[in-house]
Structure 1
Amino acid sequence: MNFLEFKYQRPDKDEVLTRLQELLHQFEQAEDYAAFFNTFQQFIELEKHFQTQMQLANIRHSIDTRDEFYTQECDYFDVISPIVDNAIHAIDQVILNSPYRQQLENDVPKTWFMIHEFNQKVMSEAIIEDLQEENKLASRYQNVIASAQIDFNDEVHTLASIEKYMSDPDRNMRKQAHKAYWGWFADHEQEIGDIFDQLVQVRTKIANKMGYETFTPFGYLRMLRLDYDRYDVEQYRQNVLEDVVPVAMELYQAQAKRHGYEGPTLPAWDEKITFESGNPQPKYDEPELVRRALQMYRELSEQTGIFFEGMVDQNLMDLNAKPGKAAGGYCEILPDYGVPFIFANFNGTNADIETLTHEAGHGFQAWLSRNAFPYDLVWPTNESAEIDSMGMEFLTWPWMELFFEEDTAKYYYTHLEGAVKFLGYGVLVDHFQHEVYDHPTWNHDQRMACWRELEQQYLPQKDYQDIDVLERGGWWMRQLHIFMMPFYYIDYTLAQVVALQIWSRMQRHDETVFDDYVAMAKCGGTKTFKELVTISKNIVPFEKGCLKQTMQDVKAWFEAHDVEE
C-alpha cells in the first residue's frame, strides 16, 4: 500500500477514553493470566492505532505546514494526547502492580517494564494542562521556523533551502548567505527567546508538581535513561574535552590553513567548508540519488535491499526541501502498517547523503524489529537508536562513489571530520540544557551568555565576525531539539562514539562488523543502551579514557589521508 493511500481518521477522544476505561476494568477483573494477557494484547492494539493516526497527522503536517487540515489535526493531538496518556498511565499502573506481572514478564521483555516504570514517574493528571501548554509552545516554535521567508539571491528561501548557499564554493556568496540566515534569527530573536522562556518555565512547573526541584532529573526520566545518569554524562563530557576537542582543533587548524588563515579560528561562513574549492556535493538530483541508494542497499545485503525497495515502492520518503515544509529530518514508524517513513530536506549539499543514510539506518532498524511485542519496543531508547543511524552512515562508505564520483575522497574526509567535530557540538547542546534547567530563573541574555561561554570551551575555533547575534550566543536558537525534545542530544554523541568504533573496525577489515550491527538492530527496544553496545561488540562510552583509542585511530587516518585541494 502506498503512503498516500494510508487512511487518516481522527481518533474520537471520548471513544478512546471509554475504551481505555473498559480495558482498565478488564485488567482489574481478570480471573486468570489468560484473561489478563488477552486484555493486554487488546490494550497494545489500541495504543498502536492511536499512535499510527497521530504519526500520520504529524508527518503530513511536517510535509506541508500550510495545510490547514493537518495543522488542525496536530493541534487536536496537542490537546488530547496528554489526556489519553494519563488514561494509559492509569492502566500501566495496574499492569505494573498486577498479581500477574511475574507471568507477564515471561512474555514481555524487561525493558518494557523499565520504560513504563519510568513513565509512571513523569505522568500525572495534575500536569495535563501543563503538558498541553508545552506541546503548544513546541509546535509554535516549529511553525515559526517553518514560516521563515528569506529574500536572497533573487529568490525567497526557507531556512533549509538557503543552506545550499551557506556552503557555496564562493566565499562572498556563503558570507552573504550566512548573514541572511542569521539575520532572520536576529529579527525573530525576541519571539524565539520568549517561546523558550515559556518552555523553561512550564517544564520547571511540571517537574515541581511531580516532586523534583528542577526539570533536569525529570528530563532524564522522560528521556528514558535506563542504565546511566547525569554523573555518567558529566564524565563523558570530560572525556570529550580531553580527547576529542584537541583532535578537532588540529582539524580546524588544517582547515584554516587551507583557507589561508594563520590560526585555528574560522569565520562562521568558512567553518562548513572543509576545502577552499568547496565541499563535495552529490552529482545528481533526488530521483537519481534514490535510484543509486537502492543499488547500494541491494549490494550491502539482501535484507537492506528488500527494506529500501519497500521504502521506494510505497512512497515512504519525502526528501526535498520546499516552501512550507518543516525543518530537519526524521524517521518515524507507522505501527499499524509496520513501515517506517523518512522525512528530509535535501538542498544539494553533501548533507543530503548523510541524512539519507542516517535516516535509512533508523528505518532499517525499525523494519528489522517491526514485529516486536509490545509494539513500542520496535524502537530502542534514543541514544541506542542513533547507533543504528550513525552506524549506517559508515557502513555505506564503500558505495559513496555512486553519489560523489571524483569527489569521493573529499567526502570521506569531510564525513569523518564532521563526526569528530560534531562530538564537541553535541556535548555543548547537552551541557547548555543542564545549565538552563538548573537555573530556570535566567533571562534570555543570561542563556545567551551561557551558550557562548560553553561554546568557547567545546568549540574554541568559533569566530563570529560581523554576526552579532552569534557573538552574543545565539546559535542555540536554531537547534530544534532544545525546543522540541529537551535533553535529546547527548544521545547523538554517545552513538557517534560507537559508530566511530564501527568505522574503525571497517578500516581493519573486520568481516563481522555488519552482522554485529544487524544483531544489535534486530533487538529494537528489548535491550538497554549498554546491553545493545555490548551486543554490537563495541565499547560502552562512559568510562574515563574510553575515547583515547578511538581518537588515536581517527588521528592516524587523517595523517594518512591528507586530501589536497
Structure 2
Amino acid sequence: MKFSEFQYVRPDIEQVKQDMEQFIQEFKDATSAAEQITIIGKINEIRKEFESTQTIAQIRTTLDTTDPFYEKEQDFFNEKTPEYEHVDSQFYAALLETPFRAELEQSLGKQLFRFAESKVKIFSPEVMDLLTEESRLTSEYQKLIATAKVPFDGAERTLSQLDKFILNPNRDVRKRAAEAKYEFFARQEQVLDELYDKLVKVRDSIAKKLGFTNFIELAYLRWNRTWDANSAALFRENVVKHIVPLASNLVEKQRQRLGVNKMKIYDERFQFPSGNPTPKGDPDWIVEQGRRLYSELSVETKNFYEEMMERELFDLVNKDGKANVGYCTVLWKQQAPFVFANFNGTANDIRVLVHEAGHAFQVYQSLKEQELPEYFFPTMEAAEIFSMSMEFFVFPWSELFFKEDTDKHKFAHLHDALVKIPRLCAGDHFQHEVYANPHLTAQERKQLWLELEKKYMPERDNDQIPFLNAGGFWQEVIHIYEVPFYLIDYTLAQVCALEFWRMSNENWEAAWETYVKLSRLGGSKSFSELLEEGNLRSPFEEHTLLELKKFVGEQLEELGAKEFE
C-alpha cells in the first residue's frame, strides 16, 4: 500500500487505554513466561496501531503545517499522548515486576528491560499537563520556522529556499542572503526568546516533579543512554584538544582557497572559488540516480529503494508550508520507514537523501528481523551511525550526482564532517549549561553562546550581523528547541561513521557486511554493544580521536592534492 493510501482515523484514546489496561492485568496474572510473551504481542498490536496513526498525522502535519485538519489532529495528539504514555508506562512497570524476568530476558533480550527502566523513570501522571505544554510549544516553534517567508531579490523565500543563495559563488549575494535570513530571526527574536524560556522552564519543572535534580538527567533517560553527562563532557574536551585545531586549520586553508582576507559566517559553507559542487539535475533526476546507486550498491539496498519508491515513502521536494526539517520515521503497523526532506538545489540534496536513506535502510532491515517495536530503531547516537556511514559508503557513486565535480564533493563532504563536530559540541555544551541553570535570562543565554563560539569555533566571524553578534545563532538550530541533547549524538556517530569509512578503505565488502549486520540488530543492543558487535572503536576514547585525526588528515591531503578552482 502507498503512503497516499494510508488511512487516517483519529484513535479512540479511551478505548486504547481500556484495552491496554486489560492486557496489562492479564500480563500480571499470567502463570508463565510463554503466556506473558503472547500477551506482549497483543499489547504491541495496540501500540503499533496508535503510534502508527500518530506518525501519519505527524508526517502529514510536517508536509503542510498550514493544513487545518492535521493541525487539529496534532493538537489532539499533543493533548492526549501523555494519557497514552501513562498506560504505556504501566506496561513497562509490569514488565519490570514480572517473576519471569530471567526467562523473558533470555527470549526478548536485556535491552527491552533497560528501555523499560528508563521509561518508568521518565513518566508520572503528575507531569501529564506539563508534557502537553512541552509538545504544544515545540509545535509552535516548528510552525514558526516552517511558515517563515524571507524577502530576497524580489521574491518571498522559505528558509530552505534561501539556503542556495547563502551558497552562491558571488560573495555579495551570500552576504545579503545571510543578512536577510538573520533579519527574519531578529524580527522574531522576542517570540523565540519567550518560546525557549517557556520550554526550558517546563522541562525543568517536569524533571523536578519526577525527582531529578534538573532536566539533564531526565533528558539522558529519554534518549535511553547508557553513558552520562560526564562522558559527554570528556568527549567535548577531547574535541577541543584534538579536533578544534584541525577544524581551524581547515578553515584557514579554505580562506586561502577562496582568496578572502577574513572568513565570515556566510563563507563557512562555501568551499571553492568556482562554486560548491551541486547536483547536475532536478529532483526527479536525483531520485532516478539514487535508484541506480542503490541497485548497484547491494541486493539489499536495491530491494529497499525500489520498495520505498513504489510505496511513496520519500517526500523530498521543498514546498510552501512544509516543515523545514529532514527526518526518517517508521510506521510500525505498515512496516514502512518514511523519509522527509526539502531539496533546494544544493549538494545538501544528495547528503540528505543518502543520510535519511541510511536511517530508512536500517529500519527496513530491522523491521524484517526484529519483532519488538523497541528494537526497530536503535538509540539515537547509534541510529545516526547508519545515516552518516551511508554518506561514506556511497562515495564510489558520487559521480552519478556530481559528474565533473566529484572530487570537489568528496573533499567538501569530508571537510564539513570534521568542521561540524566542534560546532555540534558547542550546541551540546550550551544545553548542558542552560538546563543546569534554567533561570538564566535570554541575554545571559546569548552571552553564554558567544563564549562557547570562541571555545569551539575560534575562527568564526559574524561580520557585524546584529542578531549573530548578540549571540542568537543557536536559535535557528531546530534540535535545541525540539529535541534537546540530540546534537551530541551526531558527533559521536560521525566519529563512528569515519571509522566505517576507514574500514571500507581497507576492505569495502567486509565493512558493508558489518553495516548490514548491525542494521538488522537495530535497537536490540545498546550503543556500546553495537560498537563491540561491529568492532568499531569507541568515540569516548581519546586515542580514537587521535587516530581519526591522522587518518582523515591524510585523506584530505590526498583529495586536496588536486587544486580546485
Among 443, 466, 469, the residue aligned to 1:468: 466
Read off the aligned partner of 1:249 and give its amino acid letter. Answer: S
Following TM superposition, by how much is the alpha carbon of 1:339 offset from its aligned partner in structure 2, in angstroms? 1.1
State the distance in 1 between where 2:33 and 2:235 align: 44
Amino acid at match of 2:494: Q
Q: Is the 8 A contact 1:381 1:525 kept in 2?
A: yes
Which residue of structure 2 lines up, in the alignment, with residue 205 of structure 1?
205
Amino acid at match of 1:349: T
| Offset of residue 330 of structure 1 | 0.2
Which residue number corresponds to residue 12 of structure 2? 12
Q: Distance in 1 between matches of 2:214 and 2:455?
A: 25
Per-residue CA deviations over 1:362-383 (Å, capped at 9, x if unaligned) read: 0000000004121221100000
Question: 1:235·1:543 contact (CA, 8 Å) conserved in 2?
Answer: no
Matches of 1:351 and 1:266, distance apart in 2: 21
For 1:487, the aligned partner's letter is F
Q: Give the AA of the match of 2:75.
A: D
Q: Which amino acid aligns with 2:465?
A: I
Equivalent residue in structure 1 for 2:497, among 496, 499, 508: 499
1:319 aligned onto 2:316: yes
Q: Which runs of 5 or more structure 1 residues have no equivalent in the other structure? A: none
Distance in 1, matches of 2:557 and 2:102, equals 56
The separation in 2 between residues aligned to 1:213 and 1:197, in whole angstroms, is 18
Q: Which residue number in structure 1 is paired with residue 270 of structure 2?
A: 273
Cα deviations by residue, 1:311-353 (Å, 9 ceiling, x for unpaired)? 1111111101110000110000110111100000100000110
How far apart in 1 are the matches of 2:551 and 2:509? 18
Deviation at 1:466, TM superposition (A): 3.1
| Offset of residue 19 of structure 1 | 1.0
Residues 234-259 of structure 1, C-alpha deviations (whole Å, 9 max, x = no match): 11111111111111111101111122
**2:197 is matched by which residue type in structure 1?**
D
Distance 1:429 1:546 in 2: 22
Aligned equivalents of 2:364, 2:222: Cα separation in 1: 25
* Offset of residue 161 of structure 1: 1.1
Q: Counterpart in 1 of 2:74?
A: 74
Amino acid at match of 1:443: T
What is the rounded CA distance, in whole Å, between the counterparts of 2:423 and 2:71 in structure 1? Answer: 32
Q: Quick one: distance in 2 between partners of 1:231 and 1:505?
A: 29
Preserved contact between residue 430 and residue 490 of structure 1 (Cα < 8 Å): yes
Tell me the residue number matched to 2:59: 59
In 2: Cα distance, 1:249 partner to 1:214 partner:
34
Deviation at 1:413, TM superposition (A): 0.6
Structure 1 segment 361-372 matched on structure 2, within 5 A: 361-371=358-368, 372=370
**Matched positions, count:** 562
Report if aligned partners of 1:239, 1:546 keep a CA contact under 8 Å in 2. Answer: no
1:512 & 1:21 partners in 2: Cα distance?
47
Please report how far the alpha carbon of residue 510 of structure 1 lies from its aligned counterpart in structure 2 after TM superposition: 4.5
* Corresponding position of 1:355: 352
Q: Which has the higher helix share?
A: 2
The answer for the alignment partner of 1:251 in structure 2 is 250
**Matched AA of 1:248:** A
In 2, Cα distance between equivalents of 1:257 and 1:32:
70
Q: Is the 8 A contact 1:299 1:305 kept in 2?
A: yes
The alpha carbon displacement at 1:509 in A equals 4.3
Report the Cα offset of residue 77 of structure 1: 0.4
Aligned to 2:219: 219
In 1, Cα distance between the equivalents of 2:17 and 2:504?
51
* In structure 1, distance between residues paired with 2:403 and 2:550: 29
5+ residue gaps in structure 2? Answer: none
| 1:89 alignment counterpart | 89
Counterpart CA distance in 1 for 2:104 and 2:536 is: 32
In structure 2, C-alpha distance between the alignment counterparts of 1:506 and 1:374, rounded to whole Å? 31
What is the aligned partner in structure 2 of residue 345 from structure 1?
342
Shift of 1:35: 3.0
Distance in 2, matches of 1:313 and 1:392, equals 22
* Alignment equivalent of 2:527, drawn from 526, 529, 533: 529
| CA distance in 2 between partners of 1:160 and 1:15 (Å) | 41
What is the identity, as a one-letter code, of the residue corresponding to 2:416? G
State the partner residue of 2:180: 180
Listed one character per residue, the Cα deviations across residues 367-409 of structure 1 (whole Å, up to 9, x for unaligned) are: 0000412122110000000000000000000001000000011
Identity %: 38
Matched, 1:332 2:329: yes
- Secondary structure, counterpart of 2:271 in structure 1: coil
Q: Contact 2:196–2:481 at 8 Å: present in 1 too?
A: yes
Instruction: Report the counterpart of residue 552 of structure 1 in structure 2.
Output: 550
In the aligned structure 1, how far is the partner of 2:292 from the partner of 2:421? 31
Matches within 5 A, 1:417-432: 417-432=415-430
Letter in 2 for 1:325: K
Which one-letter code corresponds to 1:468 in the other structure?
P
SS at match of 1:284: coil
Distance 2:395 2:401 in 1: 11
Q: What is the letter of the counterpart of residue 205 of structure 1?
A: S
Show the counterpart of 1:397: 395
Name the TM-score, length of structure 1 as normaliser: 0.98
Inter-partner Cα distance in structure 1 for 2:154 and 2:531:
49
* Partner residue, 1:518: 516
Q: What amino acid sits opposite 2:516 in the alignment? A: V
Q: What amino acid does structure 2 have at the position aligned with 1:207?
A: A
Q: Confirm or deny: 8 A CA contact 2:95 2:113 kept in the other structure.
A: no
Which residue is 1:121 aligned to?
121
What is the alpha-carbon root mean square deviation over aligned residues? Answer: 1.1
How big is the shift at 1:152? 1.0
Query: For residues 36 and 493 of structure 2, what CA distance do their matches in structure 1 show?
Result: 38
